[in-house]
Amino acid sequence: MKRRELIALLAGAAAWSTAARAQQPKRPTIGFLGTTVPSSMSQWTAALEQRLRELGWVEGRTVSIAYRWAESRPERYVEIAAEFVRLNVDVIVTTVPGAPAAKQATSVIPIVFVLASDPVGTGLVASLARPGGNVTGLSTQATDLASKRVELVREVVPNLRMVAILGNINNPEIVLEMRQVEGAAQKLGLQVARLPVRHAEDLAPALESVKGRAQALYVCTDAVTNLNRLSINTWALGARLPTMHDVRNLVEAEGLMSYGPNWSDQFRRAADLVDKILRGAKPGDLPVEQADKFELIINLKTAKALGLTIPESFLLRADEVIE
């Protein structure tokens, strides 16, 4: 082959390669706004990624996932949301309370929230059936379950007179849940001690204020209490206070029991919403999905450490008993 022909052939091949690359579709990017740290959410992000793979979205091949972690600092929610807008990600996935910051940052980029207690009551969406705008997601119905959790606590704690309610009042959804818990407890003739916190350093003084007075501790789960779950439960064990939570991993961290939806399942369902959006659906047209299955988890080791005898009939109703 003559030199001139060889150069022409190589030039043609290079041009074809460039054109082929130009025709390849852009790999979409999911921005994940984590409200705590990777270790505290690893089982849920794993569930999200697994379901995305099942739907054809493989990290590094057909989709990119940009993880950012706020470490329970509200100012970081705003910073991360602004960063995702600059990066022009295709969809933002976050838990509450990261969702309001994302919604404030953009009215264009689709947002999928997970673990919202009351998305309508907090103004996150217009309605569950037709969210409108650029936001949709999943509701845990935590405020609706408050009375059920208080009833469960009363079943296992003898001579229950006062319930302490621990919650981060920086989170509007937690404020709503605390009101629901307070109302449910008062209907059952129980006294209530509200323990409002905003930061991790508020936890110890709040908890110490009810030592020797309350007979149970209801923990409203959000970024602050989840990140500090082990220290909260360790303190409760020392104070001989049974704890009620709404998610399994806090019971694994020596809490007494939890009642609520399976959060890993919630993240899997969030992946289905992300899939629909990446394939062209408008988030405002996708109804907010509500949890339809609730799990009762009991840590029998913690019960024994507290000196509590859990009735056999109660254990039989549990979905899982941790021993």
Sign of the Cα pseudo-torsion (186, 313, 291, 225, in order): positive
Question: Do 141 and 117 contact (CB within 8 A), yes or no?
Answer: yes
Write the Ramachandran bin of 189: left for phi over 0, alpha for psi from -120 to 50, otherwise beta.
left
Query: Model confidence over 66-79: pLDDT tens digits?
Result: 999 999 898 999 99
Which one-letter amino acid corresponds to residue 68?
A: R
The residue ranking higher by pLDDT, 305 or 7, is 305
| pTM summary value | 0.84
Mean pLDDT in residue range 282-301: 94
pLDDT of residue 16 exceeding 70, the answer is no
Angle at 206 between CA 179 and CA 217, to 5 degrees: 55
CA distances 302 to 97, 234, 239, 247, 283, Å, are 30, 10, 13, 16, 42
Q: For residue 31, list its beta bridge partners.
A: 66, 92
Assigned CATH for 142-260+295-322: 3.40.50.2300
Q: How far apart are CA 195 and CA 207, in angstroms?
A: 7
The helix, strand and coil proportions of the chain, stated in percent and rounded to the nearest 5, come to: 45, 20, 35
Cα end-to-end distance, the chain, whole Å: 77
In this prediction, residue 17 carries a pLDDT of 47
User: Exposure of 195 by Cβ count < 10 A (0-12 exposed, 13-18 middle, 19+ buried)?
Assistant: buried
What is the mean predicted confidence (pLDDT) over 15-26? Answer: 52
| Residues near 153 by beta carbon (within 8 Å), at least 6 away in sequence | 160, 163, 216, 218, 242, 244
Asked if residue 140 has pLDDT above 90, the reply is no
Q: What architecture does CATH give domain 29-141+262-290?
A: 3-Layer(aba) Sandwich (3.40)
Domains of the chain by residue range:
29-141+262-290, 142-260+295-322
Q: Average the pLDDT over 92-96 and give the result.
A: 94
On the question of pLDDT at 2 being above 60, the answer is no
Domains 29-141+262-290 and 142-260+295-322 in one fold:
yes
Distances (CA, A) of 112 to 25, 39, 50, 103, 202: 23, 21, 17, 10, 30
Name residues whose C-beta falls within 8 Å of residue 219's C-beta, 6 or more positions apart in sequence. Answer: 166, 167, 225, 229, 232, 243, 244, 245, 250, 255
What confidence tens digit (pLDDT) does each residue in 214-250 have?
Answer: 999 999 999 899 999 999 999 999 999 999 999 999 9
Q: Where residue 3 falls among pLDDT bands split at 50, 70, 90?
A: low
Token pair of 267, please?
């993240």
Whether 19 shows a pLDDT value over 50: the answer reads no
Nearest to 270 by CA among 143, 135, 174, 86: 135
pLDDT at 11 over 60: no
In the predicted model, what is the mean pLDDT of the chain? Answer: 91
Above 50 in pLDDT, residue 268? yes
Q: Residue 172 contacts by C-beta under 8 Å, 6 or more apart in sequence?
A: 97, 100, 122
Confidence of residue 22 (pLDDT cuts 50, 70, 90): very low
